[in-house]
Amino acid sequence: MHRRSFIVMAGSAMVFLAGKGNTTVPTEITVYKDPTCGCCHAWSKAMADAGYSVDMRDTDDLASVKAKLGVPTDMEGCHTAVVEDYYLEGHVPLEAVERLLQERPPLEGLAVPGMPPGSLGMGDDPKASYDIHAIPSGIGAPYVFMEIRPPKG
C-alpha cells in the first residue's frame, strides 16, 4: 500500500513540476521612440502580440539613446529597443529577435537601417526585401544576420 501511495504522489508531483516549467515570464522590451511615430507603435504592438512585455518610452532625443547604446550611424533606424543585453535598431522582425534570444551570439544588437517598406510595423508587403544586420561586440563590422526576401515563384 505504501508503494501505491508513493507512485500516486510522485506522479502528482511530476505533473505539478511540469506545469511550473511551462510558466514563463514575458521577456521585457523597452522601446525608445518619437512621440508622434505611428510605425514604432505598430512594431511595439507586434512585439506585445508575440508575448513580449513592451515598455514604450517617448523621447525627443533618440540620437542620445542611439549614441549611448553604440548604434553605428549607418545602421540607424526609426526607433531603438532594448531586450535583455541587446539593442534592436529599427524594424527588426520577430523571427530575428527570437533567433537572437535563442542563439545569444556575442553581439551588441541587431539593426534594420532606415524604414524598409514591408518590414515589421511598415505595412504588409509580400514583396518586401531587406537585411537584418548583426552588430558585433568589440571589433568587427556589421554583417548580415538574416535576409528577408519575397518567396520565389
Segment 24-38 shows an average pLDDT of: 86
Segment 113-123 shows an average pLDDT of: 89
State residue 146's pLDDT score: 96
37 pLDDT band, cuts 50/70/90, is confident
Segment 119-125 shows an average pLDDT of: 87
pLDDT tens column, 49-82: 999 999 999 999 999 999 999 999 999 998 999 9
38 pLDDT band, cuts 50/70/90, is confident
Residue 11 has pLDDT above 60, yes or no: no
Helix or strand run (H / E) with residue 16:
helix 2-21
The alpha carbon of 85 is separated from its chain's Cα centroid by a whole number of angstroms, namely 11
Query: Which range (14-28, 47-61, 85-99) has the least confidence?
Result: 14-28
Name residue 141's amino acid: A
In angstroms, the Cα distances linking 108 to 24, 90, 114, 127 are 25, 14, 18, 29
137, 108 contact by CB (below 8 A): yes
pTM of the model as a whole: 0.81
